[in-house]
Structure 1
Amino acid sequence: MNETAVKGPERDAAEHLLAVLDELVHELHPGRGPLPIFDLDSSLDTDLGLDSLSRVELLSRIERRFEAVLPERLFAEAETPRDLLRALLRAVPSEAGSAIADISKLTLGAAEPTPATATTLIQTLNWHVARHPDRLHIRFYQDDSEGETLSYRQLKAGAMAVAIGLQAQGLQPAQAVAIMLPTGADYFFAFFGALLAGGIPVPIYPPTRLSQLEEHLIRHIAILANCAAPLFITVPEVQALAGMLQDRLVSLQAVTSVADLSASSGELVEPQVNARDTALLQYTSGSTGKPKGVVLSHANLIANIRAMGAAVNSTPDDVFVSWLPLYHDMGLIGAWLGSLYFAFPLVIMPPMSFLSRPQRWLRAIHRYRGTLSSAPNFGYELCRRRLEPRDLEGLDLSSWRCAFNGAETVSPETIDGFIERFRPFGFQAQAMWPVYGLAESSVGLAFPPAGRGPLIDRVRREPFARLGRAIPAGESDPNPLRFVACGAPLPGHQIRVVDDRDRELPDRQQGNIQFLGPSATSGYFRDSEHTRSLFHGGWLDTGDLGYVVDGELYVTGRIKDLIIRAGRNIHPQEIEQAVGGIEGVRQGSAAAVGVRNPEAGTERLVVIAETRLHDPLQREDLRARINTAVSELIGEPADEVVLAPPGAVLKTSSGKVRRAAIRALYENGVIGRPRGRLWTERIRLRLAGLAARGRRLRGRLFELGFAAYGWAIFGLLAPLVWSAVMLLPTLDARWRVMRAAIRLLRALTRTPLRVVGLENLPKPGEAFVLVSNHASYLDAYVLIAAIPRTMGFVAKAELGRDKRLGLALTRIGAEFVERFEAEKGADDARRLAGILRRGRTLAYFAEGTFTRMPGLRPFHLGAFTAAVETGVPVIPVALRGTRAMLRGDTWFPRPGAIAVTLGKPIDTTALCASAGDPWQASLLLRDAARARILRHCGEPDLERARPSSPGIAE
């Protein structure tokens, strides 16, 4: 460390400042050897390698050391330690800036969320303007005042002015409108103004430092070129560079501002907009590589918002507090458009306000009694680790009912640590909501059940690393892997985990996560190549790895090489290309990888570059040039630059960078070590890879063998059983043959079958209604094998009309019912009631059908009205494991285990007496049986948004 001379009282401050900086730099680069000499005029970016999160930590330490409050803009604008020193010498004492305004509640009055008839965002805004125009929609948070506000009327008026200006500039329907604006009223006016004018908003993140404005714009030229936006709405400083942009972009006609557009006069020509029209292009890359613009229609966005609202039971009484950027799907769709749809107010602050003072986020929740808020994992980790007791004095988080944690890998350590740290301040464990989503699904895809709190799975490390099998770890396991449950698919959506051939995997087997649903994009804008690779027979590939347990998704990693750092996507290929061309780096021999950073709760960007340089000064100069190149690409330096000997950047035979293997070398600490150890580690990794491929091949062959063997046994037994059913004279004899054959099939395929609760069956000869969930074609076979009674399966009439199958089902006592004709359905109900009165038992699959997606569907009332009419008891039966063995959209069986749980009989007579009405009794009976089955079937509740009737305790 070398201090540039300063005079007088500044000297002590400079020495302390450089000491703080020196301490931080050494912590950021442990074990790197000699660090560069720096002084007050060194660059925080290129010389010291401080990224945005490092700057947060630096300013926090400076404020604590000097007991001062630094200007918020310093976080982004400081270029050198001297800039920090100047601000420090002008800073006010921390006590003067720490006052918190009194708690103020939002008095809003009654409101209604958008009705189901609204199909576009424009209709959504118009609904609120017509019903409650002056209701508070957005409040811009300020520490020491109530801040500016926007009502629905004001939003519509400001957007109309922008829309008129856009049409005056020549905007045509369905043309893109690029928006690069900070969080503020102008952003909201611009976004809805583009929609009202018939355009498609394209949010782009604004510059954090005006000193690097030109470099920032150059990084986004690829997005502007891809979307072909003729108009670019931005801040006045960018307008000064319009010529530079227009020289590079043929499609760009004008760079303008909200103020300029709003000054136009005229009338708006309202476009015809329907649900299928594109409402938003959400770009997944913010830098110079080939960007991918996710096409989202009005229908996509509204379906996603409705599904998320149903999952969390959103009402106009909620309050959403957000610091998330409005160019990011979580902040734009989840926070703003969600608040717009459900008519709850949004309290918002710029991301910089949170990063410079994380306590602001929590204070805003406290002050406005926030109920909903979200952040990437690093945001929770930042609050957990950085805030001191004085920052939290008087804090009350008891109003916070949904703390969404998503947009990057959810850390179990962060989950546990945040709950523990903020429990004394009223934060409840059940308020933590680890969620999963992606831009290709608008924003949300999987949410946990309300009120449960986080669920963390502990799995054995070695089987998971070798085979991808998530075997539960015992309590004595000293070193398990831990993964956080992200919940079940949102209503109307589906998730599956598949192997490399798109075959669905059983529970607790890691594979590729795919999804479908009404929120799914139609593809990438003007990018047929990536669009084709996104779709797999109707399913969309997330690029993520995970496994499913009891219908809930656990995300374990990524297939794609995307690096997610502090909620921001970084594509490694462009970094590697730029670094690989720097003089001193071996041509094309660079790798960029994301490495998990438990301290920050996010990923670190590590750049590995091969070089033959040995001189320490030359190597430090090369590091600085690499960081300069990275900063020019993504706006900030890498967390670490590793200069490695030739051969360290592993590649495939076709020349592709093997990032996963390089990450493993880095994490094992061998990159940059003597060549012999590096080659030893490379050989070990290669052998481990060969062994893993061998294990996968063995597993695939075993699955194929099991499926072929199972079908062969079934093919031999089925004709024999069918013949016996047709020839044997009595129903009991036919059932004995079926039961014996199914038990033989189970034994030969070594399929475990566990039956619990047989003692709950009524005495032989007593009629009852058996009600079961329905998950697979195997369900009827399992019930026959597990329950030692003769039953009449109630089946749909279509099966009875099949000549061969219908005849066989009739011979085993099946009863057929009409599903689509009400008059015949009533006749069937009377006929089934008569069968029960004659002492026969009937078995119903109350869901009526099954799908491949796990989850208990709503129950039909037929079984319960029959039971109420005849007074016979109902036995609820939960089947578990059959769906994993044979799903609804495949005939490929997999090994598995099956469990059957028989609940206690529900006394129908007593229930009727308490209900006083047959209809109400049927509803109560349905809900009681369903609750018991849900408890044991191991699958999520697909009817969770529907309030249930009071049930009967088991």
Structure 2
Amino acid sequence: MSRFVDTMVATAAGALGRARGMTTGEPGDPVRRSWLEVHERATRAAGALVAGGVARGDSIAVLAGDPAAIAPTVQAVWLAGASTTMLHQPTARTDLAEWAEDTLRVLNMIDAKLVLLGAPFDALAGVLEQHGVAYRRLEELDGDPLPAPVEVDEDLPALLQLTSGSTADPKAVRITHGNLWSNATAMRTAAALDPESDVMVSWLPLFHDMGMVGFLTVPMLFGIDLVKVTPADFLARPTLWPDLISRYGGTITAAPNFAYAIVARRTRNVDDGAFDLSRLRIALNGAEPIDPAAVRAFTDEGARFGLRPECVLCAYGMAETALGVAFAPVFTGMAVDVVDPEELEAGKHAVPVDPGHPNARAFPLLGPPLPGLEVQVVDEAGAVLGERRVGRLRVRGEAVTPGYLTVDGPVATRDAEGWLDTGDEGYLVDGQVVVCGRRKDVIIMGGRNIYPTDIERAATSVEGVRAGNAVAVRLDAGTRRERFAVVVESRLAGDDEAVRALSKEVGARVVDAVGLRPFSVVVLKPGSLPKTPSGKLRRAAAASLVPAAG
């Protein structure tokens, strides 16, 4: 039997299932449902699925936007013994023909039995019908309650999590019931989650692992109060996020680095005491490189609202472990490792230096591996490296996925000893993980390894560049002429004189930071940079926006 499903059902039936639940519908029409109510709705939906032919091990895709509808739906899929895949959602700017083509590739790849369709995507029913895709509307899933969960083994998939790369070349991480249970319980321990007192607040998308696992599955599994809005709600009014934390007494939240930078900017003109963030004990920062300056800006502004800097929790995670890999110790705040840039870039050695050292690099300490996981650093030949030696990060443990589903068939992820190559470069110090960057994005010039995040942070420090919207692009990769460009978004785009001044300042800041001048600086209007469906910048795709090198 699945420990994950057993616990979810027991939580709903117990005291926490009645006392705790999820609030949705903010900011306009908030509605609270207990986890017992969510479960009761899920059992009826599961009964309808089983009656309709869904069987153990089937793959079910979900396309919906309302968290209130998604929560009982995904639980119903698990109760029916099937796996869930949250499809990437089209936006107002999406070409529906391209979206349909990409989605069909995903559905074929995961061998989807059915698509469960809910608001605001009901209008896409015609697109699915046109391509012969079986679907059911969420509001129609109301049958006789399933008397008991369909029994499944721990190694059957619970979640097929689409990776955040290009949807034209899809890949799904096969997260088993055992993987999900192991990682959820490890995160509960590392974050010291307390269902009796914690309140989780989130706007994260549910088609991304941090939103789906961290801020829906975990609170539903353990019976923790959850306040859930959508990414569109956050983007429309970023201050809604601290407002919800304030009004609901939020103790736990999480977001990528860019969101903390946005909130820091948007709260500068808000009166002292307008929010109460004093109960927040975990503000997890992950899913993209963490910028210490952005974190400090967030904590400095937040101090006016009672935010304690100790609440910042820097983390390392990936879909391949369900979600978490390493968490910094709870309520210790952000700690950074300051290292010599020349030793790092030329010698791949993280030598500590004083923060005042010229061009010193500061990397957040991401904490020790979660319980049940191991992290190693190895060189290109696979030899284990010592502390502060930079190399390939790999992870092993019960939470690690056994493989991917791809358009070319299944692909194993672990080697003979159970290790997964993360694709990241980093090092260990005092048992804590430090990530320097993605190996494929490292820019190699003059024998130096330049990490794009250093360039991007320098660019976004320039007034006029949108927070989180700068990309260092590798040009002529692997050649003797390897160079880089910087592509940024700015509301100044279109004003030639302002763009020239902005480009000059970006170039100067980059030179100050890494000692190298970019081949070019490209300034685009907001919304121009290519991003993954979960909002991450796509560096390789951004290369096409750089004028041809001379």
**CA distance, structure 1, for counterparts of residue 529 and residue 285 of structure 2:** 32
SS in 2 for 1:524: strand
SS in 1 for 2:139: helix
Change (3 A) 1:148 1:330: same
Of the candidates 333, 336, 353, which is equivalent to residue 453 of structure 1? 333
Q: Which residue of 2 aligns with 1:134?
A: 18
Q: Which residue of 1 aligns with 2:259?
A: 379
Of the candidates 150, 153, 156, which is equivalent to residue 277 of structure 1? 156
Q: Which residue of 2 aligns with 1:15?
A: none
Pairing 1:644–2:510 present: no
Q: Which residue of 2 aligns with 1:312?
A: 191
Structure 2 counterpart of 1:283, one-letter code: L
Higher mean alpha-carbon deviation, 553-562 vs 601-610, is at 601-610
Superposed CA offset, 1:204-231 (max 9, x none): 1322328754443333222111111121
Change (3 A) 1:526 1:607: closer
Of the candidates 212, 225, 232, which is equivalent to residue 345 of structure 1? 225
**Contact 2:207/2:534 (8 A) holds in 1:** no
Of the candidates 27, 32, 36, which is equivalent to residue 143 of structure 1? 27
Query: Deviation of residue 601 (structure 1)?
Result: 5.2
**Contact 2:117/2:138 (8 A) holds in 1:** yes
Superposed CA offset, 1:573-615 (max 9, x none): xxxxxxxxxxxxxxxxxxxx997253555354578999xxxxx
Q: Which residue of 1 aligns with 2:107?
A: 224
**CA distance, structure 1, for counterparts of residue 272 and residue 544 of structure 2:** 37
Of the candidates 515, 518, 524, which is equivalent to residue 404 of structure 2? 524
Of the candidates 338, 344, 347, which is equivalent to residue 467 of structure 1? 347
Q: How many residues align?
A: 481
**CA distance, structure 2, for counterparts of residue 211 and residue 480 of structure 1:** 42
Matches within 5 A, 1:793-804: none
Structure 2 counterpart of 1:260, one-letter code: E
Change (3 A) 1:310 1:246: same
Pairing 1:327–2:207 present: yes
**Contact 1:608/1:643 (8 A) holds in 2:** no
Superposed CA offset, 1:850-894 (max 9, x none): xxxxxxxxxxxxxxxxxxxxxxxxxxxxxxxxxxxxxxxxxxxxx
Change (3 A) 1:293 1:197: same
Change (3 A) 1:532 1:170: closer
**Contact 2:374/2:395 (8 A) holds in 1:** yes
**Contact 2:8/2:222 (8 A) holds in 1:** no
**Contact 2:315/2:366 (8 A) holds in 1:** yes
**CA distance, structure 2, for counterparts of residue 459 and residue 530 of structure 1:** 40
SS in 1 for 2:85: strand
Higher mean alpha-carbon deviation, 326-335 vs 215-224, is at 215-224
Structure 2 counterpart of 1:412, one-letter code: P
Structure 1 counterpart of 2:183, one-letter code: N
Matches within 5 A, 1:772-921: none
**Contact 2:56/2:152 (8 A) holds in 1:** no
Q: Which residue of 2 aligns with 1:255?
A: 135
**Contact 1:609/1:642 (8 A) holds in 2:** no
SS in 1 for 2:345: helix
Structure 2 counterpart of 1:205, one-letter code: H
SS in 1 for 2:405: coil
**CA distance, structure 2, for counterparts of residue 210 and residue 509 of structure 1:** 44
Of the candidates 602, 620, 624, which is equivalent to residue 468 of structure 2? 602
Matches within 5 A, 1:400-419: 400-419=280-299
**CA distance, structure 1, for counterparts of residue 266 and residue 469 of structure 2:** 18
Higher mean alpha-carbon deviation, 520-529 vs 420-429, is at 520-529
Change (3 A) 1:644 1:442: same
Q: Which residue of 1 aligns with 2:322?
A: 442
Q: Which residue of 1 aligns with 2:117?
A: 234
Identity %: 31
Superposed CA offset, 1:300-355 (max 9, x none): 11111111111121111111111111111111111222212332200111111111
Of the candidates 281, 285, 289, which is equivalent to residue 168 of structure 2? 289
SS in 1 for 2:359: coil
**Contact 2:71/2:216 (8 A) holds in 1:** no
Query: Deviation of residue 474 (structure 1)?
Result: 2.7
Change (3 A) 1:528 1:541: farther
Choose 1 or 2 for highest CA Rg: 1
**CA distance, structure 2, for counterparts of residue 327 and residue 547 of structure 1:** 30
**Contact 2:312/2:331 (8 A) holds in 1:** no
Query: Deviation of residue 467 (structure 1)?
Result: 1.2
SS in 2 for 1:289: coil
SS in 1 for 2:352: coil
Of the candidates 33, 38, 50, which is equivalent to residue 155 of structure 1? 38
Structure 2 counterpart of 1:162, one-letter code: A
**CA distance, structure 1, for counterparts of residue 319 and residue 121 of structure 2:** 27
Q: Which residue of 2 aligns with 1:367?
A: 247
Q: Which residue of 1 aligns with 2:362?
A: 482
Matches within 5 A, 1:559-638: 559-561=439-441, 596-597=456-457, 598-599=460-461, 600=466, 602=468, 604=470
**Contact 1:287/1:634 (8 A) holds in 2:** no
**CA distance, structure 2, for counterparts of residue 224 and residue 596 of structure 1:** 36
**CA distance, structure 2, for counterparts of residue 267 and residue 310 of structure 1:** 32
Q: Which residue of 2 aligns with 1:620?
A: none
**CA distance, structure 1, for counterparts of residue 10 and residue 415 of structure 2:** 35
> Where is the strand percentage greater, Structure 1 or Structure 2?
2
**CA distance, structure 1, for counterparts of residue 350 and residue 357 of structure 2:** 14
Query: Deviation of residue 129 (structure 1)?
Result: 2.7
Query: Deviation of residue 477 (structure 1)?
Result: 1.4
Structure 1 counterpart of 2:236, one-letter code: S
**Contact 2:60/2:85 (8 A) holds in 1:** yes
Query: Deviation of residue 493 (structure 1)?
Result: 1.2
Of the candidates 82, 85, 93, which is equivalent to residue 199 of structure 1? 82
Pairing 1:508–2:388 present: yes
Structure 2 counterpart of 1:165, one-letter code: A
Structure 2 counterpart of 1:143, one-letter code: P
Structure 1 counterpart of 2:209, one-letter code: D
**CA distance, structure 2, for counterparts of residue 341 and residue 236 of structure 1:** 25
Matches within 5 A, 1:643-792: 643-645=546-548, 648=549, 675=550
**CA distance, structure 2, for counterparts of residue 365 and residue 516 of structure 1:** 35
**CA distance, structure 1, for counterparts of residue 338 and residue 93 of structure 2:** 47
Change (3 A) 1:537 1:601: farther
Query: Deviation of residue 153 (structure 1)?
Result: 2.2
Pairing 1:390–2:390 present: no
Change (3 A) 1:510 1:267: closer
**Contact 1:460/1:473 (8 A) holds in 2:** yes
Q: TM-score, length-normalised on structure 2?
A: 0.79
**CA distance, structure 1, for counterparts of residue 85 and residue 211 of structure 2:** 14
Matches within 5 A, 1:97-108: none
Structure 1 counterpart of 2:468, one-letter code: T
Q: Which residue of 2 aligns with 1:925?
A: none
**Contact 2:200/2:252 (8 A) holds in 1:** yes
Query: Deviation of residue 191 (structure 1)?
Result: 0.5
Query: Deviation of residue 629 (structure 1)?
Result: 12
**Contact 1:295/1:521 (8 A) holds in 2:** yes
Change (3 A) 1:414 1:511: same
Gaps of 5+ in 2: 443-451, 477-522
Structure 1 counterpart of 2:220, one-letter code: L
Structure 2 counterpart of 1:128, one-letter code: T
**CA distance, structure 1, for counterparts of residue 471 and residue 212 of structure 2:** 25
Change (3 A) 1:169 1:210: farther
Gaps of 5+ in 1: 1-117, 563-592, 611-622, 649-674, 676-954
Change (3 A) 1:256 1:141: closer
Superposed CA offset, 1:878-933 (max 9, x none): xxxxxxxxxxxxxxxxxxxxxxxxxxxxxxxxxxxxxxxxxxxxxxxxxxxxxxxx
State the Cα RMSD in Å.
Answer: 3.2
Q: Which residue of 1 aligns with 2:6?
A: 123
Change (3 A) 1:452 1:211: closer
